[in-house]
Amino acid sequence: MLRCVVPDVVTNQDLLTLPTTATVEEAALRMTERRVRSVLVVEEEKLVGIFTGTDLIERVVAAGVNARVTRLGDVMTPEPQTIGPDLPAIEALRVMQAAGFRHLPVLRDGQLVAVLSRRDFAREEEEELEREEKLWEEM
């Protein structure tokens, strides 16, 4: 069965968004409260970046940066790759796999509608991707 990103994989998300001026500490607290591992960074309702748990580890903690004063705009991944909501789920997973992403924003007409996480995918997409990778290795 061919599933699409929206509504088959994600629906009705309450997206965690913060401005570039929010501190890393605020982002980490909100991520913990919401039990999510990414923040969509927005300015004037437009996506300008993404801040993830990986960014927190690599760009803040490991770099010895002060989370209380550092702004998301200084440590986020700017202009993240995005996809549309009608993309087949397996294609979205391919994008994430190829680029090494764990989170991928979904936009419809320039507006945020969702954020995909690797854990959102059904086992069927993961298994299909594994089958494809094995075929490529055998060629």
- Closest of 76, 54, 75, 78 to residue 65, by C-alpha: 75
Contact call for residues 117 and 89 (beta carbons, < 8 A): no
122 pLDDT above the threshold of 80: no
Each residue's pLDDT tens digit, 26-82: 999 999 999 999 999 999 999 999 999 999 999 999 999 999 999 999 999 999 999
- Domain regions of the chain by residue span: 13-138
Q: What six digits make up the tokens of 88?
A: 């087949």
| Most confident of the ranges 5-19, 67-81, 116-130 | 67-81
- On whether the 13-138 domain is CATH 3.10.580.10, my answer is yes
The single-letter DSSP state of residue 3 is P
Question: Up-side HSE of residue 127: CA atoms within 13 Å toward CB?
Answer: 3
The model carries a pTM of 0.85
